[in-house]
Amino acid sequence: MAGMKPGLLFLMLVLLMAPPLRAHDADPATVLVVRHRWHTGIALPADRLSPSLAFLRPYYSDPAWYEIGWGDDDFYRNTNNNWNLTKALFWPTGTVLHVVGLARHPAASPHSDLQALCLSGEALDRLQAVIAADFRLGADGRPLSDTPGLYGDSRFFPARGTFWFGHTCNTWTARRLATAGVAVDPATLTATSVIEQLRALPAGACD
């Protein structure tokens, strides 16, 4: 390196000593938290679906987004039933995941509210891995069963965990986001609180 300028030599040494930048860290993605009245869910870009959730693909017709929510089995399917609501809140009950394949951006759907988050590739992988662990899968790696969902291209799948007034769909959303490094209280109970906490964060969608 004789004759090389000191500044150029220093720059080369810095680049050689720096840890390699992982592709996922250099490739952030926008994730959406969607609110439907008192319920929240998480929408993932379909082109960034990780191997941990790849078992969803055969159930949907080439969507642009996957919107995923978790909740009490009976109440999720019949949200206008007061008995199911009471039972869901005060008796730990079985749960399901509701997955919707959206052909358009969720903002084009009749949602009451949504908030965008920019996650690193690594955080996105962590988020998808923890969501995948909530599905009850068979030995073949596929969901144990599936039934028609509430609207559009959607399905219900059996889920892990129990629903009660201290662990709601919004607690599920908050805990999954916290696993991905989002600064949200994992004990959050209401949809309003989830959205307000996210709106208070400095960053929104990725550029």
Which pLDDT does position 202 carry in this prediction? 86
Does 171 have pLDDT greater than 80? yes
Residue 93's pLDDT is: 74
SS (H, E, C) 27-65: CCEEEEEEEECCEEEEEEEHHHCCHHHHHHHHHCCCCCE
Query: What pLDDT score does 82 carry?
Result: 52
Residues of the chain with pLDDT > 90, as a percent, come to 63
Q: How many C-beta neighbours within 10 Å does residue 93 have?
A: 17
Token duo for residue 200: 């208070």
pLDDT at 21: 36
Q: Which two tokens mark 143?
A: 């969901």
The answer, yes or no, to whether residue 42 has pLDDT greater than 70, is yes
Q: What is the mean pLDDT of residues 36-56?
A: 95
Q: How confident is the model at residue 12 (pLDDT cuts 50, 70, 90)?
A: very low
In this predicted structure, what is the pLDDT of residue 11?
Answer: 32
In tens, the pLDDT along 74-111 reads: 778 776 545 444 544 555 678 999 999 999 999 887 76
Cite the beta strand spans of the chain per DSSP E: 29-36, 39-45, 65-72, 95-102, 113-119, 147-148, 153-158
pLDDT at position 37: 83
